[in-house]
Structure 1
Amino acid sequence: MQRFVTLAVLGALGAAGSLFAQEPQYTTIELEIDIDKPAEEVWSTVGGYCDIAQWLNVDCEITSGDGGMGTVRVLAGGRVIEILVAETELSYGYTQPAPEGQFYNLYHGFMEARPVSETSSKMLYTLVYDISDKPDQAAKDADIERRRGMFETALQNMKAMAEAE
């Protein structure tokens, strides 16, 4: 009898847990823009880890590290924390840590200045994150479009900054 009760309780807990836990639904937003400057010049203008303050129009503070791997930046008055987890001469990738007790969207961003010719380049920006916390497809689509618009503007700003140099 006790085994039956234990199994019933475990089964009920498992069923209840499945109501609250959703399967992740990762989405990728890939953006790029052509820039009439060499990639090295573009990167020197917009590729610093806190240069985001200029091209995304958000405050940025380095709270740990020296701008290299493992550096932590805090954006938007502390609402966003990002850790540098990948870096090359013309690119970097970052992630946001899991917030304690909240939905974790596994947010990652990657930015690269890619040479096209001796005098031109492309700036690429890729986001990957989980949208399974949104209540329906319309909300998921709206979130994707909001982020796409925000980073398309950021790329336009990067282009203007780099070509002005």
Structure 2
Amino acid sequence: MKTRFFASAAIAVAMLTAPAVSSSAGAAEYTTILLDKVVNKTPDQTWAKIGPYCAIATWLKVTCVITGNVTGTPFGTNRLLNGNNNEVMVASTPYSYTYTQPASTILYHGTLAVEPLDRGRQTRIVYSLFYDQAPLG
């Protein structure tokens, strides 16, 4: 466990100290979108319905297929939306996950989470998106 932690820390330090890659695309224009909704269900009930990685297919009306997992943990789980939109899970907690679109030029990341309210009798669903809109023109 310690070896894995130190190896990860070493990789992170190497990435942070590596020379920056210049881009001719110009300055980034980071954008965030925050969506939330309160529901009258417990966090467990809510997460059971929306938490599975392909549950997004239900409310977006898209196809979703889990195409791989390279780590044996939720991290690295890959989903393919509509046969062409690749999304890789990069973080998770019992009530959240964060994913990225690795082939995207806009640094797109999204997080889906649920938060308990009213001593767990209600739940806030939070969906946050982050991306660079500069490459979009």
Please classify the TM superposition score into its range, dividing by the shorter chain length: 0.7 to 0.9
Shift of 1:83: 0.3
Shift of 1:133: 2.0
Judge conservation of contact 1:37–1:120 (CA < 8 Å) in 2: yes
Provide closer, same or farther for how the CA distance between residues 72 and 128 of structure 1 changes in structure 2, counting only shifts above 3 A. Answer: same
Q: Which amino acid aligns with 1:125?
A: Y
Task: Tell me the secondary structure at the aligned position of residue 107 of structure 2.
Answer: coil
CA distance in 1, matches of 2:64, 2:79: 6
Separation (CA, whole Å) in 2 of partners of 1:34 and 1:53? 21
TM-score (norm 2): 0.76
Aligned residues: 113
Q: What is the TM-score of this pair, normalised by structure 1?
A: 0.64
Q: State the alpha-carbon separation in 2 of the partners of residues 45 and 134 from structure 1.
A: 33
Give the partner amino acid of 1:76: N
Task: Say if 2:83 is the partner of 1:77.
Answer: yes
Question: In the superposition, relative to structure 1, how do residues 39 and 46 fare at CA in structure 2: closer, same or farther (>3 Å)?
Answer: same
Partner of 1:130: 132
Of 91, 97, 106, the match for 1:92? 97
Q: Percent identity?
A: 40
Q: For structure 1, which runs of at least 5 residues remain unmatched after alignment?
A: 1-16, 136-165
Mapped to 2, the partners of 1:53 and 1:111 lie a distance apart of 14
Which of 99, 121, 132 is equivalent to 1:119? Answer: 121
- Tell me if 1:68 matches 2:74: yes
The structure 2 residue matched to 1:51, chosen from 38, 51, 55, is: 55
**What RMSD in Å do the two structures reach over aligned CA positions?**
1.8
Separation in structure 2 between the aligned mates of residue 128 and residue 72 of structure 1, nearest angstrom: 19
- Higher percent of residues as helix: 1
Larger Rg: 1
2:34 to 30, 35, 54: 30
Q: Which has the higher strand share?
A: 2
Q: CA deviation at 1:134?
A: 3.2
Q: Which consecutive residues of structure 2, in runs of 5 or more, have no partner in the other structure?
A: 1-21
CA distance in 2, matches of 1:85, 1:124: 17
